[in-house]
Amino acid sequence: MKALTKVALVLAAALTMTASGSVAQTPAPAPAPVPAAPSGPLARIAYIDVQRVLARSAAGVAAREQLEREKATMQKEMDGKRVELEKLREELEKKGALLTPEARREKQDQFERKRRDAARLADDFQKELEKREQGLLQKVLQDVSGIIEKVGKDRGYYMIVEKRGAGVIYATTEADLTEEIIRVYDREAGSKGKK
């Protein structure tokens, strides 16, 4: 744009020189206008921070609390397995020398079997927890996406992007709809619970 302005000024100066036959003084170029705050289509773009919605909304907090309860139950079961394994190991260490070779081998096999079972159970619990977390968060995100769409239509936005997923490097706080989405989501979730 600046290059075109300079070319236009040079052409105007050349035309002035050829028309008058002498070198004319060209006026100094006007300073470039300072762009105003976005209005029009650019002002109709907003963003939300889905992680903040999940962390602060009532449904997101409830989902996390439910996951923590399930995790605590699983942890209690794993602690029981760990105590059982420690007892077996101590028994092997203390009484191992007194046992016959066959009895000792049997106890060691039993210990190894229980250790593998506990490791497998821990792995299963971890996968189950991840699956449950994904399911609970997916439900919250599904509900939130409907609210985002509704708020976007009601307020006339052309586009609402997710702050982290869209790679937003800079955005004004005025474009952040996260808190509004949380309020609407909590309000709608509360009204559904009362019905």
Please, what are the domains in the chain? 44-194 (3.30.910.20)
At 37 the pLDDT is 40
Instruction: Say which DSSP state 49 is in.
Output: -
CB-based contacts of 182, cutoff 8 Å, min separation 6: 52, 53, 56, 57
Say whether pLDDT at 4 is over 80. no
State if pTM tops 0.75.
no
**What's the whole-number average pLDDT of the chain?**
77
| pLDDT tens digits, 46-59 | 888 888 888 898 88
Instruction: Say which DSSP state 165 is in.
Output: T
